[in-house]
Amino acid sequence: MLDIPSRVRVHVDALIAAQNDMGVCDAIGRNAPVGKPATMSAPHLPNVAGIDSTVPASAHTAAALADASVPSTAPGALIQDRLAGWVSDLTTLHELTERLATTSSLDDALHELLRAGAALVGARRGMVVLEPPAGRGPSSTVGLGLAHADLGHIETVPRSATPYGRILDGAPASTPAPVAQADLFGDEALDPRLREVAARLGYAASYALPLATVEAGKLGVAVWFYDEPAEPVERQRHLVGLYGRYATEHLARLLDLDRARRRMAIIAEELLPSRLPRVPGVRLAARHLGGPRGGGEWYDALPLPEGALGLAVGSVSGSGPSALAAMGRLRASLRAYAVMEGEDPVAVLSDLELLLRLTEPARSATALFAYCEPALRKVVLAGAGHTPPLITGERRTEFVETSLSAPLGMLACWEAPSVEFSPAPGETVLLYTDGLLRRTGDPTDRAFARLHAAAASVPRAARHDPAAVADHVLRSVLPEGLGCAEDPDEDAEDMVMLAAWFE
């Protein structure tokens, strides 16, 4: 918070009411020049931010802004001007921190940090080097107005010669001081490689702000670049310092959240089969896309006596560690029931429902279990509130008709008839969870139609490979293809797909 002397007592209700409602970020966007600017390259901060916008700027950098006010002979005018500047600065910080608080991923938060900091210090380009302590999160470098090649050029400079390197590799102080290089080419002690890179990228000054607090520790450094010799004035340094401390705490929370999600993803993978069995007459492939919240989607495949094969997919309600634990218990129980009475899928699911109702009465689950005899190309399956399998080949692509049934744990006694079908040679049976349908973002009927169209469009050359079939279907159905597995949306759910190709 800005220091306001306690003896300054001015009624400013009318003053605050007269403030312009347009914030600094919106003002910057509205005043952005069209085309290539001639005398200035960055829109100046409006007066509502308490920053004088009449100071001329360089070709690509908003120059340092002077904190000058016109003396007034009216009593109290100077105090009201200073108080107006403080109120405007607080409004600006509130707007910028609110925008940062809405970010839910590290990448979005780093980009927002660069944009807000550039507006506060009067620059247009910058970079963030995030290097949290070992085990706390991934390291990354993000640029503003800099291409990947530009960031690569900067990284060729000896680390000890860069301002971010001196901060990150310096003494382990809880709050390192910012580093300002007001005139790079006027500094005779400048590293030759840094001078060469600065001339190539067209910047002549920089301001580096440590991303460090006592609570969060040292997480990284944000650096903004000026095209001509310049540096932020005292008030700009104060504002960006306050914003940087808030940003550091926000980044620390996102790093902790990202680490927790990665751990849950590892646990989920460990609870699923490490490898699929080899059974004559059938080939298997599985795909699992985890969501940020960690869900209870699962699959299983296990060899059974007399050359048979058991296939299962399912989902438990809820998310997080409790859902993962329930998923692990349910999958282990189904394996036991499948070994004892796998040739009767209805009995397997009935036993599973009884176990779920007795041990976890507040939780429900969907499941599908199929008993396969590859030598006879015969499949008998039963489902409990689960999506129907999809069978696809060169001659047909259709959903297997299953009877309607409630999920496990929803009724006092679950039971539904089984269905039997025979895949033709070269056909693939796709078992999947409803998380796949919800990831499409479409209504259920349209999601089913999209899934059917994707399976029907599998190239002929790929139809004999269950892994290729599964990948093609996922690329066609999901809005961002398989790339969404690396960076899923905040609300994306777990999904699994199990593909069985019959000879």
174 versus 208: which is more confidently predicted?
A: 208
> For the domain bounded by 13-261, which CATH number is listed?
3.30.450.40
* 129 has a pLDDT exceeding 90: yes
Decide: 391 and 370 in contact? Cβ < 8 Å: no
In this prediction the pTM is 0.65
| Gap between the Cα atoms of 43 and 146, Å rounded | 18
- Mean pLDDT, residues 126-144 taken together: 90
pLDDT digits (tens, 9 = 90+) for 224-255: 999 999 999 999 999 999 999 999 999 999 99
Confidence of residue 74 (pLDDT cuts 50, 70, 90): low
% of the chain beyond a pLDDT of 70 = 80
pLDDT digits (tens, 9 = 90+) for 433-492: 988 998 888 999 999 999 999 999 999 999 999 999 999 999 999 876 554 444 555 556
Tell me the C-alpha to C-alpha distance, in Å, between residue 183 and each of 195, 226, 238. Answer: 11, 9, 21
3-state secondary structure 217-238: EEEEEEEEEECCCCCCCHHHHH
Confidence of residue 40 (pLDDT cuts 50, 70, 90): very low
Tokens standing for 235? 């008030």
Decide: 352 and 330 in contact? Cβ < 8 Å: yes
Tokens standing for 58? 């360089």
55 burial (CB, 10 Å; 0-12 / 13-18 / 19+) is: middle
What are the start and end residues of each CATH 3.60.40.10 domain in the chain?
Answer: 272-502
| Gap between the Cα atoms of 159 and 166, Å rounded | 7
DSSP 363: -
| Gap between the Cα atoms of 458 and 363, Å rounded | 37
> For the domain bounded by 272-502, which CATH number is listed?
3.60.40.10
Query: pLDDT value at position 262?
Result: 82
Helix (H) or strand (E) holding 453: helix 444-456
Alpha helices, DSSP H, located in 202-320 = 234-271
DSSP 382: E
191 versus 69: which is more confidently predicted?
A: 191
Decide: 167 and 201 in contact? Cβ < 8 Å: no
* 317 has a pLDDT exceeding 90: no
| Gap between the Cα atoms of 43 and 53, Å rounded | 9
Query: pLDDT value at position 309?
Result: 96
What are the start and end residues of each CATH 3.30.450.40 domain in the chain?
Answer: 13-261
358 versus 373: which is more confidently predicted?
A: 373
Tokens standing for 253? 């929370």
What SS3 state is found at 310?
strand
Alpha-carbon radius of gyration of the chain = 31
Tokens standing for 140? 């990354």
- Mean pLDDT, residues 59-88 taken together: 62
498 versus 269: which is more confidently predicted?
A: 498
Dmax over CA atoms of the chain, in Å, equals 102
Phi-psi region of 129 (alpha: psi -120 to 50; beta: other; left: phi over 0): beta
Among candidates 87, 85, 95, which has minimal Cα distance to 29? Answer: 95
* 330 has a pLDDT exceeding 50: yes
CA 89 to chain centroid, in Å, comes to: 31
